[in-house]
Homo-oligomer: A and B are copies of this chain.
Amino acid sequence: MSGTIEARLKQLGIELPQASRSVANYVGFTALPSAPDARLVVISGQIPLRDGRPQHVGKLGRDISLADGQSAARLCALNILAHLRAAADGDLDRVRQCLRLGGFVNCTADFTDMPQVVNGASDLMVEVFGDAGRHARAAVGVNSLPLGVAVEVEAMFVLGNAIGEPRR
């Protein structure tokens, strides 16, 4: 039975490319750990709000610099962590994995550096969680975002029980 799909690929004349090496703080794939307490958490798309007020309003490629875009992405990620802490009942040590970030960059039609912008969020995840912060990611450009902000980032995480907590 083994090798069925590989045989089909061969039959179709398909040779798979090498999986591209990651040159940043995100990775090609992530997997939900098989631990029985692993729990999927979805965090709503966050915008760069500080004290309830939108920061970094504008478009990459026109009125927001790459550095400002990265700051916007980092601020989105901080708001993600705030919700994640609430989801974990205040205990961020329960975070097993950052599974996915979805980054939307508000930009002009000729801007193409979304990956560098979204790195502002990706880098924070690895600063905070180490290897558990390495995530799968999609980064795309869009022509507009809520309140006119430069970046929106959504996320999926895996939470486990607290250390020492009996498995339930």
Chain A residues within CB distance 8 Å of chain B: 1-6, 8-9, 12, 14, 16-20, 26-32, 34, 37, 39-45, 49-52, 59, 78-79, 81-87, 91-93, 95, 99-100, 102, 104, 106-115, 127-129, 136-148, 152, 154, 156, 159, 162-163, 168
Contacts and interface: CB of A to CB of B under 8 A. Distances in A.
Contacts of A85: 16, 19
Nearest to A116: B146
Q: Please list the 7 inter-chain residue pairs (A to B) with the smallest Cβ-Cβ separation, ordered nearest first.
A: A45-B138, A141-B144, A5-B92, A28-B83, A42-B136, A32-B40, A19-B82
Given A29-B43, A29-B87, A139 B146 contact: yes
What does DSSP make chain A's interface, helix, strand, loop or mixed? mixed
Given A45-B139, A50-B17, A2 B81 contact: no
A19 B123 CA distance: 20
B42 A99 contact: yes
A4 to B, nearest CB: 5
Contacts of A40: 31-32, 40, 99
Contacts of A19: 79, 82-83, 85-86
A44 B28 contact: yes
